[in-house]
Amino acid sequence: MRIATWNVNSITARLPRLLAWLESSGTDVLCIQETKTTEQQFPSDELRDLGYESAVHATGRWNGVALVSRVGLDDVVKGLPGGPEYEGVQEPRAISATCGPVRVMSVYVPNGREPGHAHYAYKLQWFDALKAAVASDAGAARPFAVLGDFNVAPTDDDVWDREFFEGQTHVTPAERAALEALRQAGLSDVVPRPLKYDHPFTYWDYRQLGFPKNRGMRIDLVYGNEAFAKAVKDSYVDREERKGKGASDHAPVVVDLDI
């Protein structure tokens, strides 16, 4: 079984590449972030033509998450139970479902903007709610994973230059402590480092030749419970999908399960 996560940075802009990638990669379940569309505008018909069901939680121009599956899509939960609001709104940043033998959650963790900003405090609150929301699934016998754009680099080795990020989000002790708390809930990072190259980054800024210079970060993660982690037989970051015209600024992260 092949499960992947991909921040597409607008599913409308990325649709031709997304459809081609699904066909070529043989992915069974894809967790999508940053759809930047409404549920009504989501390309469910095009995905159905490829054999995928869709579950979408999106409200418009910003944020938005989705799950697409060709192995079943049941017990869908939209939103983060108990999640905080930002400026009076609970943003569409989480969706979960059962896909065949596996329970998955697609998440788009708030960026945080900068330490001290209200959005940074919101980010930490969101992590607290995420930990509480996954507790029962994390301890269950059924394979379960949270996949998505966590907007945190777990270690200094997961950014191209630690000094460059000094004083910025994604690398602060509080954010990394939030990731550690999630692990303590019964989850682990199932994509090992290093993979087939020294720095398996998943995101590269469009600006200042970020991708050609490999100035990236590893912020797209797969956190699975014990049953999920034991089933993992391979994983990789599809850097090729970050290349060329019309690419997202994130690459897909793929996990193969012996299940």
Tell me: is residue 7 an annotated ligand-binding position: yes
Tell me: is residue 149 an annotated ligand-binding position: yes
* Total of domains in the chain: 1
Reported as a single tens digit per residue, the pLDDT across 208-256 is 889 999 999 999 999 999 999 999 999 999 999 999 999 999 999 999 9
- Report, as an integer, the average pLDDT of 67-94: 97
What pLDDT shows up at residue 29? 98
Question: How many whole angstroms separate alpha carbon 159 and alpha carbon 202?
Answer: 10
pTM of the model: 0.96
Tell me: is residue 151 an annotated ligand-binding position: yes
What pLDDT shows up at residue 253? 97
What pLDDT shows up at residue 193? 64
Segments forming the whole domain that contains residue 171 = 2-257
6, pLDDT greater than 60: yes
As annotated, the active-site residues are 108, 149, 250
What pLDDT shows up at residue 199? 60
What pLDDT shows up at residue 61? 81
According to the 3-state scheme, what is the secondary structure of the chain? CEEEEEECCCHHHHHHHHHHHHHHHCCCEEEEECCCCECCCCCHHHHHHCCCEEEEECECCCCCEEEEECCCCEEEEECCCCCCCECCECCCCEEEEEECCEEEEEEECCCCCCCCCHHHHHHHHHHHHHHHHHHHHHCCCCCEEEEEECCCCCCHHHECCHHHHCCCCCCCHHHHHHHHHHHHCCCEECCCCCCCCCCCCCEECCHHHCCCCCCEECCEEEEECHHHHHHEEEEEECHHHHCCCCCCCECCEEEEECC
> Of all residues in the chain, what percent carry a pLDDT higher than 70?
97
46, pLDDT greater than 60: yes
| CATH number for position 95 | 3.60.10.10
Average pLDDT of the chain, as a whole number: 95
What pLDDT shows up at residue 55? 98
- Report, as an integer, the average pLDDT of 122-149: 98
